Chains A and B, each alone.
Chain A
Amino acid sequence: MAFEWIKIPYALLTLFIVVNYGMLLGALMQKIAARVGRRHGVPIWQNYADLIKNYGLRTSITHGVMFYLGPVFRLSGGVGLLLFVPTIYGSEMFSNLSFAGDLILALYFVFFGTLGMALGAGESGHPHAAIGVSRGLAQVTAAELPFALAVFAVALQYQTLSITDIVAAQQGGVENWTLFTNPLAVAAAMLAFLGSMMRPPFDVVLAPQEIPIGPPTEYHSSYLALMQTNRAIFPIAKIVVYMNLFFGGAATWPVFFLKVFCIYLVSVFVGVVFPRFRVEQSIRWFLVWAVPLGVLAILLV
């Protein structure tokens, strides 16, 4: 199949929609969490103001080349994940650059951003950043394990590595979703999902009250703004993967918005109810509860 250049503007359009949706959704989730605490929470456009503010700062300092590249890697992790996964199933416009082996690539991109962050934060030379990164890598690795197992289970189940094919296999009614055809894999993946959303109880890496804010301690102005953009894209991109693999994908934008919102809400619900885990606790939790589920899912397929 020849490469169609029209895909590039389409992909950019997807990106644009997702960034804005991610920013609004992020603020909305903050508001929901605030309502649980009987607060009003941030205004819905707060993320935009923060972003513009950070781009508008007049000075910035650097700690070296990797310090520049850290946020860039992180952002490319988010964007890459989004672009290589079909956002809207069956739409020529929004299937992006997905191809046959894209499941493996998606798995790789999920991890890519964290690694980039580790390099950048390491260069910043701040001890808090180093501690935060080592915590973050440990926790993400532990959370990634059940997710990878679940993904393999799904791949085995549908005998394909193409996300488009997996979504296609789930069409035609709710009962065809992986959620119902392979509940164990979904359960394992959802537990992993909690861990990778950086919300309580697994937010010890980024929580401002812990080792001050973790990896991005030294990041500011445009660097931070880049990372904020990623903060808007990445959860959505990850949720898109989940949606495609487990919840039947989305055929239109409204369905997409709704499903992403609901999946996001899962992590928020868990987050407002449970207190924060320390890293070693959360790793143990993943290994004890999520990994066996994933293994079972593979065995039972």
Chain B
Amino acid sequence: MKRDPMHFIKPELMPRKVKGPDGVEFEVEPLRDYFCDAPPTVQHGAYLKIVEDFFNWARAQSLWILGFGTGCGAIEMRPLMTPRFDAYRYGIQWRPTARQANLLVISGYLSTKTLKRAIRAYEQMQNPKYVVGLGSCTINGGMYWDSYNTIKCLDQYLPVDLYITGCMPRPEALLQGFEDLKKLIRAGQAEGANRYAENFTWYKANQKQVIHDWDMPDYNW
């Protein structure tokens, strides 16, 4: 039952002829014409170390998490907003849009279908950005180790800065993990976005190996 990749392309993304309002017919290839898929480039920090350190302090102090939950672990993120754990006092906030977020928490098992969305969301975030893998599912597959549609090893597909172990990790563990991430950021070691840009072809090859219906540009700006 092997099918060729074109089979999966949605009709609106197929190359086709359209007629403009002025009556001239022209060809469009949506994936190439409507999207910019220039690969990401490595971004350098500020020239002065002290400025970069200052920025890093601010970045660590203002972690904006993309409100995007995958798998069971997403349920452990909600308590962080409640009075009991109150992550806001650590400068952690949730953002509903990928553009404004700078921390993507992969909260558990990631089916290939969700992986596609996670990649899109990650690529729409702006450099510098961080990825935290939550729970044993992201580390080695966890209890979905023999599942036919979840990935087993997140860092093959996205540049993970930090894993938080557990199935599932308690909110306290999450807070601890975020504090550790802050240390990494302050030390200037959380350069996942640049690692992603450097090893872009490797990551893309890995992603395309498991996502069979690749119907988006190579990089979602």
Contacts and interface: CB of A to CB of B under 8 A. Distances in A.
Contact of A42 (B45, B54, B89, B99): B89
A208 B96 contact: yes
B138 interface: no
Interface in A107-157: 128
A220 B44 CA distance: 19
A46 B93 CA distance: 10
Contacts of B204: none
B99 A59 contact: no
A149 to B, nearest CB: 35
Instruction: Place the interface of chain B in its size category.
Output: 20 to 34
A43 B91 contact: yes
Given A41-B89, A53-B58, A58 B126 contact: yes
A219 B126 CA distance: 11
B62 to A, nearest CB: 4
Contacts of A213: 95-97, 100
Contacts, number: 91
Contacts of A218: 97, 99
Nearest to A50: B62
Contact of B89 (A43, A50, A57, A128): A43
Instruction: Place the interface of chain A in its size category.
Output: 20 to 34
A170 interface: no
Contact of B67 (A49, A58, A208): A208
Nearest to A124: B99
A30 to B, nearest CB: 8
Interface in A41-96: 41-43, 45-46, 48-53, 56-61
A208 B97 CA distance: 9
- Chain B binding surface, main DSSP class: loop
Contacts of B46: 56
A172 interface: no
B126 A59 contact: yes
A38 B102 contact: no
A23 B148 CA distance: 50
A52 B58 contact: yes
B58 A40 contact: no
Interface of B: 43-46, 54-55, 57-59, 61-62, 64, 67, 82-83, 86, 88-89, 91, 93-97, 99-100, 102, 126-128, 221
Sort A-B residue pairs by CB-CB distance and give the 8 closest, nearest first.
Answer: A212-B96, A56-B55, A52-B58, A49-B61, A220-B99, A58-B43, A53-B62, A49-B62
13 contacts: A39-B82, A42-B91, A43-B61, A50-B62, A51-B58, A52-B58, A56-B58, A59-B127, A128-B97, A213-B95, A217-B96, A220-B100, A221-B126
